Amino acid sequence: MNKRILVIYYSQSGQLTNVINSITEPLQKAADIEVVFECLQPIKPYPFPWPFLSFFDHFPETVHDKPQPIAPLSTATEKPFDLVILAYTVWFLSPAQPITAFLQSTAAKQLLHNTPVITVIACRNMWLMAQEKVKRHLTLLSARLIDNIVLTDPSHSAATFISTPLWVLTGKKGPFLNGLIPAAGVDAKAIKAASRFGEAIAQQLPVRASNDNAPLLQNLGAVTINERLIASERIAIRSFRLWGALLRSLGKPGTLLRRAVLVLYILFLITLILTVVPVTAIFKTLLAPLMKKRIAAQRQYFAAPSGE
């Protein structure tokens, strides 16, 4: 009997779609595996590229798990799947709203209950807190997270601080400033190389016991932990929640007072990124010799279940 894989994803720019295509290419070629794709569709489509204030105006609901609704899934939920691949991008250190909407849905309860799940993330560089949220949702759904794949922008953080917003707000990946700022996004070679994950799944899944929760992708470099960003992400997510709660108390997205305060938040966010994040990273580096065991434990925790 063929093994059935459901791929659930939402991609605005098309980058995540390319990642999914690379991973699933070996799976679609396998004679004993059936792959079903489910591209989530917001009832009110999100723009891409994003208008400046509209992009930030979606931040409060994103960090507080109050997503806009998505259309009903086309996938039949009564047929069980042997594996679900859940692919998402990161908005404000949280999963993109359509993914959160799915994880809160009745369909998710039916599709993910007692089902092995592999998460796939494509983002700039910060994904740890978003994955923590997804893990909590999966636990509530009684899903079995067995692997995590993360592809990030390989450029320096200082460069991506400019290139990623330009991509989101203009739709152009770059490079910018005559090549001074490299093109935004995951490297094309890394996307192509992601096919190794599909090859590993294709080899193991057909002979795998249904109750096996062991990772399929160990020793394949599925994730890389940037330990300097751990503390920065934790500080930033707390700030996002506080500001998000304030902005939500001022009204719905698009209201005048909320947008006025939103401008202040944007200025605060830029200051936070330019000051707190690098300072935290410096302190993390300086204290690293004294915190080897703690850092090693953090790396192991965030790299699980696939490992670095």
| Predicted pLDDT of residue 306 | 96
Instruction: Flag whether 158 is in a domain.
Output: yes
| Predicted pLDDT of residue 269 | 82
Residues 167 and 236 in one domain: no
Cα(16)–Cα(281) distance, integer angstroms:
28
| Predicted pLDDT of residue 84 | 98
Compute the average pLDDT of residues 208-220: 94
Residues 120 and 254 in one domain: no
Domain end point (choices 199, 225, 251): 225
CA dihedral angle for residue 39, residue 112, residue 207, residue 307, rounded to 10 degrees: 80
CATH number at residue 129: 3.40.50.360
**Of the candidates 146, 151, 120, 164, the residue with the CA atom closest to the CA atom of residue 214:** 146
- The whole-chain average pLDDT of the chain stands at 93
Residues 33 and 146 in one domain: yes
3-state secondary structure at position 245: helix
Cα(254)–Cα(259) distance, integer angstroms:
6
Going by pLDDT thresholds of 50, 70 and 90, the confidence category of residue 278 is confident
| Predicted pLDDT of residue 100 | 98
Identity of the residue numbered 281? A
Instruction: Flag whether 124 is in a domain.
Output: yes
Domain end point (choices 178, 208, 225): 225
3-state secondary structure at position 271: helix
Instruction: Flag whether 249 is in a domain.
Output: yes
Residues 201 and 259 in one domain: no
Compute the average pLDDT of residues 222-235: 89
Residues 79 and 139 in one domain: yes
H-helix or E-strand spanning residue 69: none
Instruction: Flag whether 308 is in a domain.
Output: no
Which is it for strands 90-91 and 94-95: parallel, antiparallel or unpaired? antiparallel
Please write the tens of the pLDDT for every residue from 150-199.
999 999 888 998 999 999 999 999 898 888 899 999 999 999 999 999 99
3-state secondary structure at position 207: helix
Counting the structural domains of the chain, the total is 2
Sequence-separated contacts (24+) of 130-138 with Cβ below 8 Å:
130/88, 130/90, 130/93, 130/94, 130/95, 131/302, 133/65, 133/94, 133/95, 133/100, 134/86, 134/88, 134/95, 134/99, 134/103, 137/100, 137/103, 137/104, 137/108, 138/103, 138/112
3-state secondary structure at position 94: strand
Instruction: Flag whether 305 is in a domain.
Output: no
Compute the average pLDDT of residues 205-217: 94
Cα(106)–Cα(32) distance, integer angstroms:
29
Please write the tens of the pLDDT for every residue from 114-129.
999 999 999 999 999 9
Domain of residue 125: give its range: 3-225
